[in-house]
Amino acid sequence: MRKIFYILITLIITSCTTAEIPLVGEIPSDRKVSYNTDIQPIIFNNCLTCHSSVNPANGLILETYTQVRNSAENGTLIQRLNDAANPMPQSGLLTPDRRALFDKWKVEGYPEN
Ligand code: HEC
């Protein structure tokens, strides 16, 4: 009984470590980066406390695809994400893979879905 238990535990542990669990913020190589899947959750978690329609910092609202795309395409969103001296969010740069997602999104033409 005990032996079976250990075998089971070993199986569970090895299957967990070898299984491909997609991480949020990981850069997909097999598909395009999309606003809905990749970009929106990052904006939601890191930007909306200051850039929602309720008292938006600098008047910049980042609630919709159009608003985020406009700031990335015509504004300074991507520059500020990567500006170590003056980062957005103000608390510090996001992780490199999250910032790279925005770069890939830009290269691919800012897909929404
Ligand atoms: C703690 C509040 C706060 C958070 C969180 C925050 N911002 Fe800002 N943001 C500001 C303030 C205040 C300004 C205006 C002053 C400045 O430019 O530094 C600003 C300015 C900006 C600007 C330049 C001004 C403009 O109108 O285009 C961009 C782009 C920007 N933020 C994007 C973001 C993004 C993207 C995130 C999330 C990754 C984010 N911000 C998170 C407070 C915040």
Residue 1 structure tokens: 């009984």
Nearest C-alpha to atom 7 of ligand 1 is from which residue?
A: 89
In a domain, 15, yes or no: no
Mutate to test the pocket of ligand 1, among 90, 103, 106 (most ligand atoms within 8 A of CB): 90
Contact 47, 89 (CB under 8 A): yes
pLDDT in tens, 19-76: 444 445 578 889 999 999 999 999 999 999 999 999 999 999 999 999 999 999 999 9
Q: Which domain holds residue 73?
A: 26-107
Contacts of 47 (CB under 8 A, 6+ apart): 62, 88, 89
As for ligand 1, residues whose beta carbon falls within 6 Å of it are 46-47, 49-51, 57-58, 60, 71, 75-77, 80-81, 86, 88-90
Domain count across the chain: 1
pLDDT band at 11 (very low <50, low <70, confident <90, very high): low
Using an 8 Å Cβ cutoff, are 81 and 102 in contact? yes
**20 belongs to a structural domain:** no
Ligand 1 pocket mutation, candidates 49, 51, 64, 81, criterion most atoms within 8 A of CB: 51
